[in-house]
C-alpha cells in the first residue's frame, strides 16, 4: 500500500498509540477529583499542557485542549464574535479557508455579522494590501490559515501580523492545522492571538487537538458546565488523547528537524515528474508552498475515476479537503485562484509524510501514467 493522502489524515505512530493506551489504563481517574487517582491524572494533564506550551514556545495557561481543528476553529471564531460583538460585528477571512472556518463565518452572517472574504491570486495567496484595505474600526477578528489544505500555499502570516499591530481591537486567528510540523511559525513574533492544531494530521489520533489563546484574550464559551480548560471547554478532559497529542507534537517536530530536507526533495521530485506529464496541470505554486502537498488537475477526466483506478494498485490520493470531497465536483479553492472550469473540476491532491519514500513516488508516477493513458483512450 502507498498512502499519499496525509493532508486528510495520517497513520498514527505506534509510540502515540502506546502513550494513549498507557494513560487510559494507568491514569483513568478524573482530573477534577480530589482523591489520589484524580490528583495523579491532574498532574499528568498539567505536565502535558506544559509540554505542549514548550513546543509552541508559549505559556501553559494559553493552551486549551480540543477535539481537533474543526472545534478549535469554531471556538476561536464564534468565541470572539459572541464576546466582542458590542464593539463591532465585522470579521475578515479569505475565500480559500477550510470549511470549518467558512461555514462558521456563514453561520455568523445569519446573526448579523458582516464577513469580508478576501480574494487570492492565481497561486492562492492573499495580498497584504487587500487585508489592509479591508480593516475597519469595527473589525473584531481576522482569520487566515497558514498553509492551504488543498494546494499547499503558504500565507505571509508574519506580514499580516505586522499590519494588525495598528488595529489592536482586531484579534488574529490562524488555522495552523496543515502547517504545524512542516512549516515553522513563531506564534509570538507573528502577533497571533488564536491558533488551531489538530492531532490526526501529525500522526496523532482523531478527536485530539488544541487551541492557543493568547493571554488576556477573552472568548465566549461554547461549552458550559464544570469549567474545565479555563472555562472555555467544559467537560471531563480526554486525558489519554491529550497525552497522545503531545507525544505526536513532539515526534513530528523531531521529524521536521531531522527530515525536512528529505520531504522537500521528495516534493520537488514529484513536482518535476508531474510537470512532465502532458495531460497534467500543476496547481500548487513551485515556491512558497508547503513541503508535503502537490495538487494538479487532469482536464477532461473526473478525479474520482483517477482515484479509484489508482486504488486498484493500492495507491491512495484524494481530490480536495476531506471535509468537502463528497460535495460538488468544483474546487472552491481553484475557482478563487481564477482557474478555468476544466481545471477546477479535475483536481487531484497528493500529500506526503516524513515516512514517504522516493520508491513509492516512482511507483505512483508509473501507475499514474498508465491510468491516464488508459483513461484517455477510453475518452476518445
Active site residues: 323
Count of CB atoms situated within 10 Å of the CB of 362? 13
Hey, which residues does 282 pair with through a beta bridge?
296
Three-state DSSP class for residue 197: strand
Residue 49 and residue 63: Cα distance in Å, rounded?
Answer: 7
Buried b / exposed e over 206-241, threshold 16 CB at 10 Å, is ebbbbbbbbeebebebebeeeebbeebbeeebbbbb
Which residue from 324, 364, 374 is spatially nearest to 150, judged by alpha carbons? 324
* Alpha-carbon distance values, 91 to 2, 144, 171, 231 (Å): 41, 11, 10, 24
Between CA 76 and CA 196 the distance in angstroms is: 8
Strands 114-118 and 90-94, sheet pairing: parallel
Residue 62 DSSP code: G
How far out from the chain centre does Cα 44 lie?
27
> Is the CB of residue 224 less than 8 Å from the CB of residue 233?
no
C-alpha triplet 4, 249, 360: angle, nearest 5°: 20
Q: What DSSP line would sit under 121-143, residue for residue?
A: -TTS---HHHHHHH--TTEEEEE
Under 8 Å between Cβ of 69 and 61: no
**Number of Cβ within a 10 Å radius of residue 92:** 26
Cα 62 from Cα 147, distance rounded (Å): 22
Under 8 Å between Cβ of 191 and 161: yes
* Element of type H or E holding 93: strand 90-94
Amino acid at each position: 500500500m502507498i498512502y499519499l493522502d496525509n493532508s486528510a489524515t495520517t497513520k498514527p505512530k505506534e509510540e502515540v498509540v502506546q502513550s494513549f493506551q498507557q494513560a487510559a489504563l494507568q491514569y483513568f481517574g478524573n482530573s477534577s477529583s480530589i482523591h489520589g487517582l484524580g490528583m495523579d491524572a491532574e498532574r499528568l494533564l498539567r505536565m502535558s499542557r506544559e509540554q505542549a506550551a514548550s513546543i509552541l514556545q508559549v505559556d501553559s495557561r494559553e493552551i486549551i485542549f480540543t477535539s481537533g481543528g474543526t472545534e478549535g476553529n469554531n471556538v476561536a471564531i464564534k468565541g470572539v464574535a459572541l464576546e466582542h460583538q458590542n464593539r463591532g460585528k465585522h470579521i475578515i477571512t479569505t475565500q480559500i479557508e477550510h470549511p470549518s472556518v467558512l461555514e462558521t463565518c456563514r453561520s455568523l452572517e445569519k446573526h448579523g455579522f458582516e464577513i469580508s472574504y478576501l480574494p487570492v491570486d492565481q497561486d492562492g495567496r492573499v495580498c497584504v494590501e487587500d487585508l489592509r484595505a479591508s480593516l475597519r474600526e469595527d473589525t473584531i477578528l481576522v482569520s487566515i490559515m497558514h498553509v492551504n489544505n488543498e494546494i499547499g500555499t503558504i500565507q505571509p502570516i508574519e506580514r499580516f501580523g505586522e499590519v494588525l499591530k495598528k488595529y489592536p481591537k482586531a484579534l488574529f486567528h490562524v488555522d495552523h492545522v496543515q502547517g504545524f510540523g512542516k512549516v515553522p511559525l513563531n506564534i509570538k513574533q507573528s502577533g497571533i492571538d488564536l491558533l488551531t492544531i489538530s492531532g490526526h494530521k501529525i500522526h496523532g489520533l482523531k478527536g485530539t487537538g488544541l487551541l492557543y489563546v493568547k493571554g488576556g484574550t477573552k472568548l465566549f464559551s461554547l461549552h458550559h458546565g464544570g469549567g474545565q480548560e479555563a472555562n472555555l471547554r467544559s467537560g471531563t478532559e480526554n486525558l489519554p488523547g491529550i497525552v497522545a497529542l503531545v507525544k505526536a507534537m513532539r515526534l513530528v517536530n523531531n521529524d521536521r528537524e531531522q527530515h525536512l530536507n528529505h520531504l522537500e526533495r521528495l516534493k520537488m521530485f514529484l513536482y518535476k515528474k508531474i510537470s512532465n506529464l502532458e495531460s497534467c496541470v500543476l496547481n500548487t505554486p513551485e515556491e512558497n508552498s508547503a513541503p508535503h502537498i502537490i495538487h494538479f488537475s487532469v482536464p477532461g477526466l473526473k478525479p474520482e475515476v483517477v482515484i479509484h483506478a489508482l486504488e486498484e494498485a493500492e495507491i491512495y490520493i484524494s481530490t480536495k479537503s476531506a471535509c468537502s470531497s463528497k460535495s460538488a465536483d468544483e474546487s472552491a479553492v481553484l475557482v478563487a485562484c481564477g482557474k478555468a472550469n476544466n481545471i477546477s473540476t479535475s483536481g487531484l491532491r497528493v500529500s506526503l509524510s516524513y515516512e514517504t519514500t522516493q520508491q513509492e513516488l516512482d511507483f505512483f508516477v508509473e501507475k499514474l501514467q498508465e491510468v491516464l493513458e488508459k483513461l484517455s483512450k477510453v475518452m476518445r
